[in-house]
Structure 1
Amino acid sequence: MGIQLPRWVWIGAIALSCIAGMVNVVGFLGFEHQAVSHLTGATSQLGMALAQGDWRSVGHLWAVLIAFSLGAVLSGLIVQDGALVLGRRYGVVLTLESLLLFVAIPLFRQQQLWGALAAAMACGLQNAMVTTFSGAVVRTTHLSGMFTDLGIGLGHLLRGLPLQVRRLMLSGLIITGFLVGGVIGAWLFQRSGYDALLAPAILTGLTGIGYVLHLHLYRR
């Protein structure tokens, strides 16, 4: 069965993957060199820190994991329903994500871990929201599932089985969006430092406004 998601969801998912790519690159290039949009690497680093007895890193990594998870919890509290329903409070989640990214900028400038935590929480909010309304089909802050879908599709192709073209297309577009976001984020960070987060913060806010306008037009 292919993905039967509205076009606006496709556009939003690609835009949000680009935003996540920008935020994650800023986290990597920042003073802690910490990924904030996904938890696999952070969990592996936590394991190494525990083995080495590096308790400062243990505290920092636990904090990032908890911040991302709290963002997901907050998204679940706001959206509440697992079905894609036009009118759910997706705009509220996107606005909160935008505010968290704006808050992260001065905290990053002051070399405070709270900057990474605000960015991680923003990513947790975003990923949980997209996961909820896509039925766990789409993720925008990490790419393991997207690459897995592409691999499965290639396996089906080699076996001569029917391809889920729309699913593979969406996976490819999300991967491309995340990559482009990473390139843009790195370019902006080289020129403006942590102000690079202004771009994803503004884009997230505009996406939220776009959703509200779409909802208004739909209801009319």
Structure 2
Amino acid sequence: MISQLPKWVEFGAFILALVAGYVNAIGLLGFEHQSVSHLSGTATLLGAGVYQGSLQNASHLVGVLLSFLAGASIAGFLLHGFTLKLGRHYDTALVIEALLLLVALAFLYNEQFVGHFFASAACGLQ
């Protein structure tokens, strides 16, 4: 067992946590002030939206949930393991995450809600 992580792993974990916080701010400042990374709140809003009969909000929230699931599925396909091992496709996952975030940025900059889906997929991938 490793008693102390190498510095590059600690630095990488810090950067990933920082990026996740930035991405989550996208959702908190946008539609319904919901998180795009912690989906229990999104699922709660979905239930409330269905109860209130707001089909438009409910469909948007379903899109956020499914986008997160799609990102997590891509990560599972690329990394397929529970432990950190060199040689896995971590670089591919990070490149896909960066591309998803750039697409989210472009959509949200133009005030198009679809950007939330790409941001949520990036969080699921991470």
Q: TM-score, normalised by structure 1?
A: 0.53
The equivalent residue for 1:91 is 91
The CA deviation string for residues 154-194 of structure 1, in whole angstroms up to 9 with x for no partner, is xxxxxxxxxxxxxxxxxxxxxxxxxxxxxxxxxxxxxxxxx
Q: How far has the Cα of 1:83 moved from its partner? A: 2.3
- Structure 1 segment 58-207 matched on structure 2, within 5 A: 58-126=58-126
Inter-CA distance 3–112: structure 2 relative to 1 (3 Å threshold) = farther
Question: 2:46 touches 2:62 (CA, 8 Å); kept in 1?
Answer: yes
The equivalent residue for 1:8 is 8
The equivalent residue for 1:40 is 40
Q: List 4+ stretches of structure 1 deviating above 4 A.
A: 1-5
Q: How far has the Cα of 1:109 moved from its partner? A: 2.3
Q: How far has the Cα of 1:12 moved from its partner? A: 1.5
The CA deviation string for residues 64-90 of structure 1, in whole angstroms up to 9 with x for no partner, is 000001000001111122221112110
SS in 1 for 2:122: helix
Question: 1:34 touches 1:116 (CA, 8 Å); kept in 2?
Answer: no
Amino acid at match of 1:116: H
Q: How far has the Cα of 1:3 moved from its partner? A: 6.9
Question: 2:37 touches 2:123 (CA, 8 Å); kept in 1?
Answer: yes
Q: How far has the Cα of 1:10 moved from its partner? A: 2.3
Q: How far has the Cα of 1:31 moved from its partner? A: 4.8
Q: CA RMSD in A?
A: 1.9
Identity of matched residues, %? 45
Aligned pair count reads 126
Q: TM-score, normalised by structure 2?
A: 0.89
Structure 2: which 5+ residue stretches go unaligned? none
Amino acid at match of 1:81: G
Structure 2 CA distance, aligned partners of 1:108 and 1:99?
Answer: 14
Structure 1: which 5+ residue stretches go unaligned? 127-220
Kindly indicate whether residue 57 of structure 2 is the aligned counterpart of residue 57 of structure 1.
Answer: yes
Amino acid at match of 1:71: G
* Structure with larger Rg: 1
Amino acid at match of 2:26: V
